[in-house]
């Protein structure tokens, strides 16, 4: 393999990871796996941001990725706490059974 | 040589992502996701984003995923939900594959040149943190505040559960 690796290669990896994350959120009914898929999508966006940052030789993308890390950590902390409480009340993590907000 | 490592790490990352989404057991999914994040950290390092690669390993693959595993094991991994049936899923998958093929041919045929060589210190701790503590210091402080609020929220939810259980115990109505 003697080709050079450029911006587009990283963008393709980013697209693939993001689509896999979307598929996980759409097709899985386990709330924990849906959370993991959201994390996967955030990481895919980080790949593309850092690739553009490298392409433009600009450090602003690194700051953005750091903020995404902080927001992801906060989201996981609160989201999993809510999930634990729902599990204690409903005894399941299947999102199809989380219908008590509609009733 | 760079191309070889790029295809190795990106292929492994995509493979681990697919395994994350398709495994039935949430604990197995979490381990595949950790492996995916480690491969993505290698990609970050190949992009000269050394500081971000370290943070990816420490925060994502370390802290966040340990928390995930903790909660997954706490909730029990007995919920193996039945797979959904219907025509929607195969149609969406076929549409996704077609769109993906189009995007990849467009992207890979457009520009094929590599990156310019990175200057010294690009993506290191010193340069990134200097930017973070001068131009973007407000965002930095706000992310700290956000984490504080998230911690308070999580503790509040957990504490309310504890209080309910205590009243159950005092009332003697606990099963």
B134 to chain A: closest CA residue: A63
pLDDT digits (tens, 9 = 90+) for B137-155: 999 999 999 999 999 998 8
pLDDT given for residue B169 in this prediction: 55
List the single best residue of B10, B96, B130 to mutate versus A (max A Cβ within 10 A).
B10
> Residues 11..40 of B with a Cβ closer than 8 Å to A: which?
13-14, 17-18, 20-21, 26, 29-30, 33, 36-37, 40
Q: Which range has the worst mean pLDDT, A85-94, B67-76, B83-92, B130-139?
A: B83-92
pLDDT given for residue A2 in this prediction: 52
Question: Is the Cβ–Cβ distance between A10 and A33 less than 8 Å?
Answer: no
**pTM of the shown model:** 0.84
Start-to-end CA span in chain B (Å): 64
Residue B98 has pLDDT above 50, yes or no: yes
pLDDT given for residue B102 in this prediction: 79
Question: Which of B10, B96, B115 is closest, CB to CB, to A13?
Answer: B10
CB contact under 8 A, B40 and A47: yes
Give me the DSSP letters along B27-68.
HHHHHHHHHHHHHHHHHHHHTT-HHHHHHIIIIIIIIIHHHH
Higher pLDDT, B8 or B95: B8
Q: Which residues of B touch A14 (CB under 8 A)?
A: none
Percent of chain B at pLDDT > 70 equals: 82
- The separation between CA B85 and the C-alpha centre of its own chain, rounded to angstroms, equals 28
pLDDT given for residue A14 in this prediction: 92
The ipTM is 0.90
**What CA–CA distance (Å, rounded) separates B41 from B38?**
5
Higher pLDDT, B79 or B20: B20
Residue A94, strand partner residues: A30
CB within 8 Å of B108: residues ≥ 6 apart: A8, A9, A12
Q: How many CB pairs under 8 A join A and B?
A: 227
Percent of chain B at pLDDT > 90 equals: 39
Q: What average pLDDT does chain A have?
A: 86
Residue A30, strand partner residues: A94
Name the most confidently modeled range: A66-75, A88-97, B75-84, B118-127.
A66-75
> Closest approach of chain A CAs to the CA of B173, in angstroms?
16
């Amino acid at each position: 393999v003697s080709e050079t690796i450029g911006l587009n290669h990283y963008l393709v990896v980013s697209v693939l990871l993001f689509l896999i994350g979307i598929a996980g959120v759409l097709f899985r009914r386990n709330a924990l796996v849906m959370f993991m898929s959201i994390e996967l999508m955030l990481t895919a966006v980080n790949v593309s941001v850092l690739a553009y940052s490298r392409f433009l030789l600009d450090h602003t993308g690194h700051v953005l990725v750091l903020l995404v890390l902080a927001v992801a950590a906060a989201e996981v902390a609160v989201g999993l706490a809510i999930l634990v409480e729902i599990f204690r009340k409903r005894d399941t993590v299947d999102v199809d059974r989380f219908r008590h907000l509609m009733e | 040589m760079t191309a070889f490592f790029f295809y190795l790490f990106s292929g492994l990352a995509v493979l681990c992502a697919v395994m994350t989404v398709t495994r039935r057991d949430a604990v197995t999914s979490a381990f595949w996701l950790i492996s995916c994040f480690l491969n993505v950290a290698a990609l970050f390092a190949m992009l000269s984003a050394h500081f971000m690669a370290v943070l990816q390993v420490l925060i994502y693959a370390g802290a966040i995923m340990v928390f995930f595993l903790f909660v997954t094991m706490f909730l029990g991994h007995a919920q193996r939900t039945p797979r959904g049936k219907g025509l929607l899923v195969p149609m969406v998958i076929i549409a996704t594959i077609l769109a993906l093929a189009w995007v990849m041919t467009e992207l890979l045929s457009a520009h094929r040149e590599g990156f310019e060589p990175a200057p010294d210190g690009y993506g290191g701790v010193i340069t990134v943190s200097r930017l973070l503590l001068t131009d973007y210091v407000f965002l930095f402080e706000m992310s700290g505040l956000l984490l504080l609020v998230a911690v308070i929220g999580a503790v509040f939810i957990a504490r309310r559960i504890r209080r309910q259980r205590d009243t159950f115990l005092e009332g003697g109505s606990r099963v």
